């Protein structure tokens, strides 16, 4: 339950690097690595020719919840019944076990006079 609450409230970003229409790299929480074909458009002295960049970086932000409030008065009867039965079962699951009495604890097995399984064996020659 704690893991569900943690991931539902956590915000993260997914960074993607596209080279043309091909997805090259994806990263979560970090900057995506480039493919090495990015062009820095620097106007050289006296040069007015520029080439469009084929690479594109996209960033998708997934926002988590800011507030968690459980309102018990808005729960249905079925939900309350499930919660109470689950809690009752969970609490009773970890109760201590009774000391079990084993009546044959002091019983000693009889002494073996003959090997009974030897009488039932058949040997084919």
pLDDT above 70 coverage of the chain, percent:
78
Q: Which two tokens stand for residue 19?
A: 């080279």
Q: What is the pLDDT of residues 41-75, one digit of tens each?
A: 554 555 666 666 788 888 988 888 777 666 666 77
Residues facing 17 on adjacent strands? 25, 57
Report yes or no: 14 and 26 within 8 Å, Cβ to Cβ: yes
> Looking at the domain assignment, is residue 100 inside a domain?
no
DSSP annotation of 110 reads P
pLDDT above 90 coverage of the chain, percent:
5
Q: Structure pTM?
A: 0.42
Whether residue 81 has pLDDT greater than 80: yes
What range does the domain containing 23 cover?
2-39+54-62
> Looking at the domain assignment, is residue 10 inside a domain?
yes
User: Measured at the alpha carbon of residue 47, what is the angle toward residues 45 and 53, in degrees to the nearest 5?
Assistant: 115
> Looking at the domain assignment, is residue 97 inside a domain?
no
> Looking at the domain assignment, is residue 108 inside a domain?
no
Euclidean distance between CA atoms 57 and 49, whole angstroms: 24
DSSP annotation of 25 reads E
> Looking at the domain assignment, is residue 20 inside a domain?
yes
> Looking at the domain assignment, is residue 84 inside a domain?
no
**Domains contained in the chain, number:** 1
> Looking at the domain assignment, is residue 117 inside a domain?
no
Q: Check residue 48 and give its pLDDT.
A: 62
């Amino acid at each position: 339950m704690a893991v569900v609450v943690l991931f539902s409230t956590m915000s993260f970003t997914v960074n993607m690097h596209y080279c043309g229409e091909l997805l090259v790299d994806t990263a979560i929480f970090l900057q995506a690595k480039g493919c090495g074909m990015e062009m820095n458009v620097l106007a050289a002295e006296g040069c007015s020719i520029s080439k469009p960049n084929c690479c594109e970086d996209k960033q998708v932000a997934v926002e988590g919840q800011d507030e968690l409030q459980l309102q018990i008065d808005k729960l249905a009867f079925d939900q309350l019944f499930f919660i109470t039965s689950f809690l009752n079962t969970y609490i009773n699951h970890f109760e201590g076990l009774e000391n079990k009495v084993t009546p044959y604890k002091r019983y000693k097995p009889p002494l073996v006079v003959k090997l009974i399984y030897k009488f039932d064996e058949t040997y084919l020659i």
